[in-house]
Amino acid sequence: MRTLTGTGTTPLSSLGTARWYRPNADLTLPDRPDPDDVDVDGERERFNRVRERAREGIERARDRAAERVGEEEAAVFDAHREFLDDPTLVGDIEAEIEAGIPAEHAVRSAFEDPIARFERMDGRMAERADDLRDVRDRLLRLLLDVDAIDLSTLPSGTVLLAERLTPSDTAELDPDAVAGVATATGGRTSHTGIIARALSIPAVVGVGDALTGVTAGAEVLVDGEADELVVSPDEDRRADAGGLDLPVVRERVETADGRAIEVAANVGRTAEVGAASERGADGIGLFRTEFLFLNREEPPDETEQYGAITDALAVFPEDRVVVRTLDVGGDKPVPYLDRPDEPNPFLGRRGIRTSLDEHADLFDTQLRALLRAAEGEQGDGLAVMFPLVTRVEEVEAALDHVESVVDRLAEEGIPHAVPELGAMVETPAAAAVADVLAERLDFLSIGTNDLTQYVMAADRENDAVAEYHDPLHPAVLRTIDRTVKAARGGDAWVGMCGEMAGNPALTELLVGLRLDELSMSAVTVPAVKEAIREVNTGQAEALADEVLSCATRAEVKELIGD
C-alpha cells in the first residue's frame, strides 16, 4: 500500500481502477516549413475558420455544463470565450501567421507566454492557466483535425488520473461511471475541483509528480476528505472505502442535547432536486430560478414556472422548498433581456432592483406561478425569498406586488395562497436593518458568498483579492451574528444558504450562532447532519462567543482549526 497526498475537493471516497488520461499525446505539431512556402492568406483564413468552430464548441460545452452541473459552474466557459476573442492573443497569432508561420505553430507559440505568466501567480489566478490550455488545445485539435477523447464513455469504476484536467474535460465525466479523479496539478478552488464536487465525484488534486508512479490498472482509493490517493489499499482502507460518503439520513437531525437544525440543499437546475432528496436533504433551502431563464431565446411563461415549482414540491411533500425569485445581473447575464453593460455589475442593476423596475412584468409572472403553487397539494411547504435586498422600501414594494397578484388571481377565480415570504441577507445594508425586515417577513436567509464580498469589498470573481474573500473574517462573522439576533427579535426564522453552510468543520460554530437552517450543496448534506448530531449546543454557543471576540482571522483559525 502506498499513500499519496494532495488536496481533496469533494468530501467523498471511492475505490476504482486507475486509468491514465494523456490528451496531449496526439497534439504533436508537424515540422515547421520555410516561411516562404507558407500560404499566409490561406493560413489566416484557416485560423479564422477554426476560431469560429471553437467558439461554437465552447457554447455547446457551456450549455452541456449548465445542464449537468449548474449555471454557476458553467460560467467558466464565459472566460474561455473571452480568451478566444482576446485582442492581444488573436493579434499575436495573426502576427505570426503574417510572418509565415502555420496557424497551429502560431497558436501554440502565442499561448506560451500567457500560460507561463498565470502559472507564476498565486491562488486562483494560477488556475487561469488551465483555462488558457483548454482554449489552446481546442484550437489545436481543430487545426490538426484530431478528435477529442470521449471522456463520457469511460468504463464503470474508473479512477481517472491526469497531469491536469481542463474544465471541458471534467464537465464531460459521467458520475455513474467515474469512481474518482486524481491530478498532479490543481488546487481546492480549481475548476476541476469545483465541477467534480458539483458532480459528486471524489477528487484529489495537486498530488504532484508522485502521481506518475501510479500504473494503469492499479486499484486505488480516492479519499477526498483525507486528501489522499491510496494505491493498492490494504483491507482496512478498502473497508473504509465510501465510509466518508456517509449513510444517507432521511430523518431530521438534532444536536446531542436535542436542538433541531434543518439541513436543506441548494439547487440550480431541475435534476438537482431529486439528487438532493437522495442525499437526505430536509427540503430545499435555495431554489435558484435563474436556470429556467438561461440558455434560451425568451423567458419561461407562467405555466412552465408553475410546473418546475410544483415538481420540486412533489419531491419534498413534507419539507420546505425555498424559492428565490429571479436574480439576474452580476455574474448571471441573460442575453435576451438586453441588459446594459455596467462597470461593476455586482454593485449595479441586479436582484430585487430589476424585479421592481425594468423586469416587473417577469416578477409578476413569477409571483403568479408561485402563489398558484402555494395553493397546491404540497403548497404548504413553499417559501419565497427576494434577492439582494438593501432597503426596507424594496421589501414593502415586493409585498405590494404580492398583494396585487393576489387581487388579480382572485378576480380571475384562480386558486392561490400566500406562502412564507423572506429576504436574502447578502449585503451589509440588509444586515443593518435585519430587525426591521424581520418584522415584515417570515424569515431571512444569509447568502454568505455575496455577503462576504460586500462586507470585505472583495469581488468574489476577482482573483487578485481572493484572500480578502473570507467568510471567517471577524467582520463577516459579526454581521452574521447581528442578523441572526435581529431575526429572532422579530420572530422570524433564519437560515444560511452560502457555501459556508456546507462545511462540516464549521457546523459547530454555525449551531453556536443559533441558525435555524443550513442549506448547501447536496453532496455535503450527510456530513453536516452527522456533524450536527455531535454538537453540544452550550459548548457551540461558548465557541461562538469566543470567535465573535476575535479581532483577526488568525485568531478565529486558532479557535476552530484550519
Active site residues: 191, 497
- Secondary structure, 3-state, 147-181: CCCCHHHCCCCEEEEECCCCHHHHHHCCCCCEEEE
- Secondary structure, 3-state, 293-338: CCCCCCCCCHHHHHHHHHHHHHHCCCCEEEEECCCCECCECCHHHC
The H-or-E segment that residue 378 falls in is none
Cell (9 digits) for 493: 426564522
What does DSSP assign to residue 282? S
Give the pairing of strands 382-386 and 420-425.
parallel
Spatial separation of the C-alpha atoms in residues 530 and 134, rounded to whole Å: 39
Cell (9 digits) for 264: 436543506
Give the pairing of strands 253-254 and 260-267.
antiparallel
Spatial separation of the C-alpha atoms in residues 544 and 560, rounded to whole Å: 10
Residue of 236, 320, 333 whose CA lies nearest to 284: 320
Rounded to the nearest 10 degrees, how much is the dihedral formed by the CA atoms of 10, 14, 18, 23?
A: -30
Residue of 399, 496, 476, 401 whose CA lies nearest to 441: 399
Spatial separation of the C-alpha atoms in residues 482 and 196, rounded to whole Å: 35
Spatial separation of the C-alpha atoms in residues 523 and 11, rounded to whole Å: 8
Spatial separation of the C-alpha atoms in residues 169 and 148, rounded to whole Å: 10
Map residue 345 onto helix, strand or coil: helix
330 φ, ψ to 5°? Answer: 60, -115
CA distances from 335 to 60, 325, 465 (A): 16, 18, 28
431 Cβ contact list (under 8 Å, min separation 6): 425, 451, 479, 480, 482, 483, 486
Map residue 493 onto helix, strand or coil: strand
